[in-house]
Structure 1
């Protein structure tokens, strides 16, 4: 049994579907920005928000759950405008 509660296939399928729609909406135009950063930002902010909510705003527990340093968490929170 996997330790991962998120079904990776479902997550990958959702990302593929969303990107396919994004490219369709571009209608032949080139993307205006760095796509990697755009996708990471779209996923990272709600991830941080939901984990913070789950642990009642405890940044130390959030960082532990995400497997990142607390200072890294604080930096990412500032980047995304999360108080």
Structure 2
């Protein structure tokens, strides 16, 4: 899947989000979107990396400790 396809999917979702708001002004969209995307991103990458945190961190361009923190925040590890 190309970057453009992912961007188009996000754009379409955001347009739907604004339609659903029906004129109500959004609040805290950046944090909402980052959290909505981050959890499934971590889930899929961890599965593809056979739950190897070092490999997943490398793929994501993160420090392993940062990845662990994010996995804990999303309750994907205990």
Structure 1: segments with no counterpart, 5+ residues? 1-5
Structure 2: segments with no counterpart, 5+ residues? none
Runs of 4+ in structure 1 over 3 Å off: none
Aligned residue number for residue 81 of structure 1: 75
CA RMSD of aligned residues (A): 1.0
Q: Counterparts of 1:18 and 1:81 in 2: how far apart (Å)? A: 25
| Residues 20-45 of structure 1 deviation map (CA, whole Å, 9 limit, x = unaligned) | 000000011122x3101111111111
Cα offset for 1:74?
Answer: 0.6
Aligned length: 77
TM-score of the two chains, using structure 1 as the length reference = 0.86
2:32 is the counterpart of 1:68: no
TM-score of the two chains, using structure 2 as the length reference = 0.91
Q: Counterparts of 2:21 and 2:73 in 1: how far apart (Å)? A: 27
Larger helix share, 1 or 2: 2
| Residues 14-68 of structure 1 deviation map (CA, whole Å, 9 limit, x = unaligned) | 111000000000011122x310111111111111111110111111111011110
